[in-house]
Structure 1
Amino acid sequence: MEQEQLYPLKFEPIYQYRVWGGRRLNSLLEKPLPKNEPVGEAWILSDRADHSSKITNGKLKGKSINWLFEHTPKQLLGKLQGGFNRFPLLLKFLDCQDVLSVQVHPSDALKDYIPEGESGKTEAWVVLETGKGASIYAGLKSGTTNTKIKADLEKHQVADDLASFKPKVGDSILIEAGTVHTLGDVVVFEVQQNSDVTYRLYDWDRVDAKTGKLRELQVQQALACIDFSKVELKPVITTVKANEPVLRELVIDNKHFSMSRITGEYPFMVGNEAAPRVLVCLEGGGEVESGNEFYHLAKGEVMLLPAISGACPFVPDGNVTLLELCLPEV
């Protein structure tokens, strides 16, 4: 039998050391960063065996997101119950102080390149902060071939094959599986399929300060996973769904996830009675009203609205910017 009724749930971020990380997540998240090391990622909603997000509010404080799947699947998932054995999305903030490796993720179709228990990996970014050297590499330059990439790898010039642009705050970019990509000197929000399969093509001959060694590359696997039709990618053009009482924009909509951005200062509705939704607060804050209780959401926090909560009013403290994410249909 399922437990007491679920409610809007908040989670503690999980920080990750990355050689390319920085300290800028300090200004976004309340939890202090680990001292004296670069932090590249904050996993704000993660259901993985090695990193399972813990609830920080209410009677279920300390329970993991995986616990919810085991004990309250119907309340959590609604019509999506039975479609997943774990939460299908992984949500992060990234502080890319230095440029990441040039990398690619496999699509779901490339079974030979996906370890057991994993999936392909399509992801999307929303740019939150940019530095003077901010750059996003997304896709190849038109006409780039496998032969040319191999030759440029030998010469340590693979960056010449990548399409790039200078991002600005608010830009959103869809990185479908098979897209060669990297980014640097930016802070972004990332939503992705719940997968940790990454193949590094090139890492700028960088030495990891923790190990004193070059990081491992997976050149052959990366080359096999590249979709050479993914070229010259640019920020997505959002679709305005409503202007009153707040601005609602559809940012990304694909078979893996849907993401909307809500901006304004007046109360509005979030959530859905049929399936769970996830809120991520990028600016401002406010309260979700559910079951005659109020649940505060601040900048940098994530909130999981279980299906049982249904549609809920959100009352901003002032001007607020939220992302609302929907899970894939099954």
Structure 2
Amino acid sequence: MSEQIYPLKFDPIYQYRIWGGRRLEHILSKPLPEKENIGEAWILSDRDDFSSKVIDGKLKGKTITDLMKEYGYEIMGKLGNDFERFPLLLKFLDCHAVLSVQVHPSDGQTEYIPKGDSGKTEAWVVLETADDSRIYAGLKKGTTKEDLEKAIKNKNIAEKLHSFVPKKDDAVFIHSGTVHTVGGTVVFEVQENSDVTFRLYDWDRTDPKTGKPRELQVDKAIACIDFDQVDIGPVTPVKSDKVENAEKLFDNQHFKLWRIKSDSNLTVGLKDQPVVLVCLDGKGTMEFQGTQYSIERGEVVLLPAIIGPLELELESKMEVLQIAIPEKK
């Protein structure tokens, strides 16, 4: 086993967004930039423009991009031949105001995807709600391309979108090609490692930083819409027989996600494959090669595949998301 590799903790990368707020300071310990509307905290990102940095241990300061080049097989295990870059992007979102109405391309729609990028299937776990919380997920059944174009022109696109009022702990799956947006809600997001978004409508607002409206990409967005993605609501959690004290929320070709709620010690991680732990509440520690590694609210820890399962000792009741990457078929 590599002497260098250990459970890896990363520094969050804060992102200004026109629709952001200040609620992420209640989740993460790293202070938010002053007087900025922070919409996103990228907590694990292997992107050229924003690559997450290790915050402690021998590898402190190294990026996940560096590590994937130097320790790709130690990190990815049996998935080592499948991925050159870490294939998921993990975020906390503070959707203080509603996001633009948007859509992401599917992997196969290569004409709309920059070289080296992918499509974007994503999913949300709702952490906090407010009086104005609403999730728009999919079109209303029967909506056609012509209906949508007319609604955009008449600025009543919301009437063509399926929506619901989310509750804390709701989990929502947004397949690529799904028209969606969210507002008044704090969510955790797991997605393909992609930053391709096409905006259909942005509520006729201007960005206070530029004084101008944000750019729309209506033609590209409509070309990428899957008109069969309609009336999408929260998923039904499934009790897991693979992960202790857990329910499985998502299981698709891009990611698997379990939500663990426990007040007693448990095993986390999987054999010969990487696992990401995201702590939503509580605090615990894992021992690896004689060293203690802590995880607490708002933190992300990547367990490289070479490490395998570890015992998580709880200092208090914990809520943890465990995320794994399926093998390519």
For the superposition of Structure 1 and Structure 2, which TM-score range results when normalised by the shorter chain?
Answer: over 0.9
What does the per-residue CA deviation read over 1:24-50, in whole Å, with 9 as the maximum and x for residues that have no partner?
001000111011110000000000000
Q: What's the offset of the Cα at 1:267?
A: 0.8
Task: In structure 1, give the amino acid aligned to 2:59.
Answer: L
**Residue 92 of structure 1 aligns to a residue in which SS?**
strand
Q: What's the offset of the Cα at 1:82?
A: 2.0
Q: What's the offset of the Cα at 1:243?
A: 11
What does the per-residue CA deviation read over 1:95-145, in whole Å, with 9 as the maximum and x for residues that have no partner?
000000000000011111111111000000000000110000000001100
1 CA distance for matches of 2:163 and 2:69?
43
Question: Paired residue for 1:236?
Answer: 235
2 CA distance for matches of 1:63 and 1:40?
25
Question: Paired residue for 2:20?
Answer: 21
Identify which range, 65-74 or 226-235, moves more after superposition.
65-74
1 CA distance for matches of 2:66 and 2:221?
35
Q: What's the offset of the Cα at 1:273?
A: 2.4
2 CA distance for matches of 1:238 and 1:190?
16
Residue 257 (structure 2) aligned to one of 256, 259, 265: 259
2 CA distance for matches of 1:73 and 1:176?
28
Pair 1:134 & 2:117 matched: no
Question: Paired residue for 2:282?
Answer: 284
Q: TM-score, normalised by structure 1?
A: 0.97
Q: What's the offset of the Cα at 1:3?
A: 5.8
Residue 325 (structure 1) aligned to one of 320, 323, 326: 323
**Residue 60 of structure 1 aligns to a residue in which SS?**
coil
Q: TM-score, normalised by structure 2?
A: 0.98
Q: What's the offset of the Cα at 1:73?
A: 1.5
Q: What's the offset of the Cα at 1:242?
A: 4.7
Question: Paired residue for 1:273?
Answer: 271
Question: Paired residue for 2:79?
Answer: 80
**Conservation of the 8 A alpha-carbon contact between 1:134 and 1:185:** yes
2 CA distance for matches of 1:243 and 1:311?
12
**Residue 49 of structure 2 aligns to a residue in which SS?**
coil
2 CA distance for matches of 1:18 and 1:223?
24
**Residue 309 of structure 1 aligns to a residue in which SS?**
coil
1 CA distance for matches of 2:272 and 2:3?
19
Question: Paired residue for 1:207?
Answer: 206
Alignment length, in residue pairs? 328
Residue 303 (structure 1) aligned to one of 295, 301, 304: 301
Task: In structure 2, give the amino acid aligned to 1:275.
Answer: Q
**Residue 58 of structure 2 aligns to a residue in which SS?**
helix
**Residue 147 of structure 1 aligns to a residue in which SS?**
helix
**Residue 281 of structure 1 aligns to a residue in which SS?**
strand
**Residue 222 of structure 1 aligns to a residue in which SS?**
helix
2 CA distance for matches of 1:260 and 1:289?
22
**Conservation of the 8 A alpha-carbon contact between 2:8 and 2:301:** yes
Pair 1:148 & 2:147 matched: yes
Task: In structure 2, give the amino acid aligned to 1:248.
Answer: A
2 CA distance for matches of 1:71 and 1:119?
23
List runs of 5+ in structure 1 lacking aligned partners. Answer: none
Task: In structure 2, give the amino acid aligned to 1:169.
Answer: K
**Conservation of the 8 A alpha-carbon contact between 1:131 and 1:185:** yes
1 CA distance for matches of 2:45 and 2:8?
13
Runs of at least 4 residues of structure 1 off by over 6 A?
A: none
Question: Paired residue for 2:48?
Answer: 49
Task: In structure 1, give the amino acid aligned to 2:91.
Answer: K
Q: What's the offset of the Cα at 1:70?
A: 1.3
1 CA distance for matches of 2:248 and 2:110?
31
What does the per-residue CA deviation read over 1:282-302, in whole Å, with 9 as the maximum and x for residues that have no partner?
111111222222100010000
Q: What's the offset of the Cα at 1:256?
A: 0.4
2 CA distance for matches of 1:200 and 1:264?
40
1 CA distance for matches of 2:242 and 2:49?
42
**Conservation of the 8 A alpha-carbon contact between 1:171 and 1:235:** yes
**Conservation of the 8 A alpha-carbon contact between 1:5 and 1:75:** no
Question: Paired residue for 2:116?
Answer: 117
**Residue 192 of structure 1 aligns to a residue in which SS?**
strand
Question: Paired residue for 2:218?
Answer: 219
**Conservation of the 8 A alpha-carbon contact between 1:5 and 1:308:** no
2 CA distance for matches of 1:200 and 1:41?
17
1 CA distance for matches of 2:190 and 2:206?
28
What does the per-residue CA deviation read over 1:1-41, in whole Å, with 9 as the maximum and x for residues that have no partner?
x9634110000000000000000001000111011110000
Question: Paired residue for 1:31?
Answer: 30
Task: In structure 1, give the amino acid aligned to 2:110.
Answer: K
1 CA distance for matches of 2:308 and 2:82?
19
2 CA distance for matches of 1:159 and 1:292?
55
List runs of 5+ in structure 2 lacking aligned partners. Answer: none
Task: In structure 1, give the amino acid aligned to 2:275.
Answer: R
